[in-house]
Amino acid sequence: MFPPREEFLRVLPILIFCGGGTLLMLLQPFLRSRTAFSLLALAGSLTAVVSVGCSAAHPGAAFYGLIGSDPASVFFEFLVGAVAFLVILGSASYLERESLAPAEFYALIFFAAAGMCVLASAREMLTAFIGLEMSSISSYILAGYRRESPKAAESALKYFLLGSFATAFFLYGIALLYGSTGTTVIAQMTPLAPGLLPKLGLALLLIGLSFKVAAAPFQLWTPDVYEGAPTPVTALFSAGPKAATFALLLRIFVEMPLAAGEWTRIFWILAVITMFAGNLGALLQTNVKRILAYSSIAHAGYILVAFAASNEIGVAAVLFYLLAYAAAKLGAFSVVAHLGGAGEKRIELDDFAGLAQRQPIAAAAFSLFLLSLLGIPVTAGFFGKFYIFKAALASHLIGLAVLLGVNSVIAAYYYLRLIIVMYMREPKEETAALPFPGAVTTVLALCALATVYFGLFPNHIIAFASNPRLFGH
Amino acid sequence: MVPAGYYLVLSAILFGLGIVAFVFKRNIITIFMSIELMLNAVNLAFVTFSQVLGKLDGQVFVLFVIVVAAAEAAVGLGIIILIARHRQSLNVERMDLMKF
């Protein structure tokens, strides 16, 4: 029996991303113009973002309950779609500068985005696995897209080896859960018999997903991969897969009967070591891309604090935080991608000295994103941290809230150092300003707008994310 | 007939061997093979559980895992060739352009 029409509408963004990616690959031999590919990719990703409205209008399960549309999946599909759109918008000039082929690049971003959307809306483990792999395999290729650069090749290799290693853990976790519950549907996973097997399965699953969100002690690949990958791709990595994997984790820990309760302590430990690993690591770095990579480890730690809290405010905080974080990280990496110059040679801290005199607007935008990552009021990052604090305190995790505060102070050191370098330090040598092309300026403007808007009016998102029917059913 | 528990133990041993090889081996191809070993351990577990539970979906899962592993191998071997061209070496200890 062919599934009814509305089931296709429920997964429309995924279909558009898959179809768009395939179309780009098919057109590759016939079109020679970079602009044509960029416009096609932009149109495709914009259509996908708009089509999220269509999946929002048809909530419910699709394809025998394997996948579905509910407010949470709509939120994450929108986030992933917007991230893909902004990355594509910002990468056209980068691809031209580094003379990289556009068609495959955009197609891979489309496939990765499709995978992330699947991950965010999967209701069953096999589907989640396929989504995870769609996004991971595309990411491995994207990480090594600058084939001439030995660093990019090494980054792709590290990502590939550790990513597949993590996938094996994820799968073994699913196997044990399947064996002990007799099903792979997330919401139906209740143990058939008491015992260690389901817990072990869930723990392995958690290890696999911790790799993907870069939570310590499974974060070692992150700085190297982020440094070696082309910067627009780094922007995608830091915002997209992280959001989608956290979406799956949320779904597992909200819906799965097995996952209730006792996991708080595990998340407590994961959150603390992740925060410290990220922030202390960032203190020692002089490469701006690596600083931002370590900072994204730290942010995974902050989000895990909300998981440790495991209450309704925590769920809303995760959604809001991922949105705020994506806007700030995308903006920051877009600045670095452009200012890095040909071959990404100028991404050391010293290269940013005196940026405020050379390019005041770029320096101001970069500072805004850094302040949002730091969590200063009037930026979205502030409310993100605020709600995570609130969630931790609501669950009486005073110690964890204090450690979160300590970490924010450590983080202030390296974010503010970057800002001070841009505003106060004189450049060592005379460097020409690199004017931003219109498309990148648009990306920065949109990210800055989102950062400030959600920093002033967080209520819409929080109200949306506090919906008790966030996860279907 | 061999009890199902034996298969699960075998699968756990294979998975453990895969982890050990992943951590201690130095050649990238061998590391890649150890990942394949881990995936096949998972497949064995799925088939066993599917047999014990009397449900077919575990075996369907195995088919998907095989297909995804093939896709991963295609990409992975491509990346390994790229590395071999850059370095003329497949020793992971020499992959040290980026360090802490």
User: pLDDT tens digit string along A361-400?
Assistant: 999 999 999 999 999 988 999 999 999 999 999 999 899 9
Q: Do A168 and B42 count as a contact with CB atoms less than 8 A apart? A: yes
Q: Do B49 and A140 count as a contact with CB atoms less than 8 A apart? A: no
In chain B, % of residues over pLDDT 70 = 99
CA distances from A77 to A37, A82, B98 (A): 23, 8, 33
Degrees to nearest 5, angle at CA A97 with A94 and A100? 80
- Residues from chain A contacting residue B9 (CB–CB below 8 Å): none
Is A296 in contact with A214 (CB distance < 8 Å)?
yes
Whether the ω angle into residue A377 lies within 30 degrees of 0, i.e. cis, is no
pLDDT at A326 over 90: yes
Q: Who wins on pLDDT, A195 or A365?
A: A365
Which of A9-13, A113-117, A289-293, A342-346 comes out lowest in average pLDDT? A342-346
pLDDT at B100 over 70: no
Q: Is A224 on the interface with B (CB under 8 A)?
A: yes
Average pLDDT of the residues of chain B:
90
pLDDT at residue A341 in the model:
82
Contacts of B75 (CB under 8 A, 6+ apart): A137, A140, A141, A160
- Residues from chain B contacting residue A347 (CB–CB below 8 Å): none
CA distance A462 to A215: 25
pLDDT at A256 over 90: no
CA distance A177 to A181: 6
In chain B, % of residues over pLDDT 90 = 71
- The mean pLDDT value for A19-44 works out to 93
Q: Who wins on pLDDT, B12 or A259?
A: B12
pLDDT at residue A259 in the model:
72
A444: which 2 tokens? 């920065």
Which class for A393: exposed (0-12), middle (13-18), buried (19 or more C-beta within 10 A)? middle
Contacts of A140 (CB under 8 A, 6+ apart): A156, A159, A160, A163, B75, B76, B79
A362: which 2 tokens? 């770029």
CATH of B4-99, one of 1.10.3210.50, 3.50.50.60, 1.10.287.3510, 3.40.50.2030: 1.10.287.3510
- The mean pLDDT value for A321-331 works out to 94
B5: which 2 tokens? 């528990």
Is A177 in contact with A171 (CB distance < 8 Å)?
no
Among A126, A168, A178, whose Cβ lies nearest the Cβ of B64? A126
Among A137, A147, A223, whose Cβ lies nearest the Cβ of B72? A137
pLDDT band at B12 (very low <50, low <70, confident <90, very high): very high
pLDDT at A339 over 80: yes
Chains A, B: CB contacts within 8 A come to: 113
Window 18-77 of A, Cβ < 8 Å to B? none
Parse chain A into domains and list their residue ranges: 1-260, 262-473
Task: Give the distance from residue B9's alpha carbon to the nearest chain A alpha carbon, in angstroms.
Answer: 12
pLDDT at residue B45 in the model:
94
pLDDT at residue A347 in the model:
86
A244: which 2 tokens? 């989608």
- Residues from chain A contacting residue B82 (CB–CB below 8 Å): 144, 147, 153, 156-157
Average pLDDT of the residues of chain A:
91
pLDDT at A24 over 70: yes
pLDDT band at A473 (very low <50, low <70, confident <90, very high): low
Task: Give the distance from residue A291's alpha carbon to the nearest chain B alpha carbon, in angstroms.
Answer: 11
Parse chain B into domains and list their residue ranges: 4-99
pLDDT band at B95 (very low <50, low <70, confident <90, very high): confident
**Eight-class DSSP state of A472:** -
CA distance A65 to A123: 7
Degrees to nearest 5, angle at CA B15 with A247 and A214? 30
